[in-house]
Each structure stands twice: as C-alpha cells, then as structure tokens.
Amino acid sequence: MTEPLWHTAHTCRLTPAAREEIRAFLRTAFEGDFGDEDWDHTLGGIHVCARDGSGLLAHGSVVQRRVMHAHRSYRVGYVEGVAVRAGRRREGLGGRVMTEVERVVDGAYAFGALSASSAGAALYAGRGWEVWQGGIGVMGPGGVEPLPDEEGGMYVRGVAGRPLPSPSQPLILDWRDGEVT
C-alpha cells in the first residue's frame, strides 16, 4: 500500500471537479446521510484531503462560525465533513486529517468546536476534544433557541494560551439552514 498524498486548500482553491469529488465521497462515506445543507456546511473554509490512485481516502474541513458566550462573540473553527473511506478506516487517516484540522484551528480561531456522531466521538475524545458540559443554543430567526437534544454531542478544543469559555453559560451558535450544530 502506498503512502497517501495529502492536500490542504481553501474551498476557493478547489476546482469544480474536486468539489464534486469531495461531495460524492462524503455522500458515500456517510452512507447517503449527507444532503445539500450538510454539503453547504463544509464549504467556505479549509479542506484536508488524502488520496491515492483509487481516489479520495479521507476528508475534513474547518469553517468559521460565530459563537456567542456570556455576551461575547467568538470566531470558532467549526469542524465539518470528517470521513474516511469505509475500506480504509482504523489506519490512522482520520487522526492525520484531525492533526491538520487542529493546526488550522490553533492558528486562526479562539477555539474549536464540532458536533460528533456516536461513530466519531472516540476519535475526537482520544485527541483531547472535550464534551461541552454547558447548554447549547442557536441564534434563530426568532431569537435564542435552546437545543437540549444537542447537549452531550458538542465537542470543544481549547487553543494554547486561550482558555475555553466556562460551561456556566451556554454556547449560542450562529444560525444556518439544516442541522444547526
């Protein structure tokens, strides 16, 4: 097995064909549970991709989101679309994607955040991402809407020299179409 080739690029640097390849890859990796709104959430930031001669092996992206906490707005590196091809899981590819994703978060954002599936939670916890222990909400069209069903699935990661917000106050995410977390 040859070593995969790694590529990191902003969405604007991806060709239309590369974007479509990533989208098809994520649709397959998430077994069809990856729609138009999910795709939209992965765009506008930095993409990390691994490939070999057979195509994409792994992907992850970091996009900026605004998160309010205790009357302050933070620029947060929000992790989206982390996936590894089914036949190549448990080889360390997801960890390598996250290493690069974390480098982006550390260099550009106040902290990192993501919503983990039950399948992905162990990867994030094993890398030091912590379950957010406070409340979660979204700034919806009608004001702040609590999201109690999302509690326990949001992970955060501090950046050196910048403490994480206190869980005594909720994280209020910016509004977006589809699943807001």
Q: What is the pLDDT of residues 68-117, one digit of tens each?
A: 999 999 999 999 999 999 999 999 999 999 999 999 999 999 999 999 98
- Report pTM: 0.95
Closest alpha carbon to 19 in 79, 27, 92 = 27
Please, which pLDDT band fits residue 119 given cuts at 50, 70 and 90?
confident
Domain annotation for the chain: domains and CATH numbers: 5-173 (3.40.630.30)
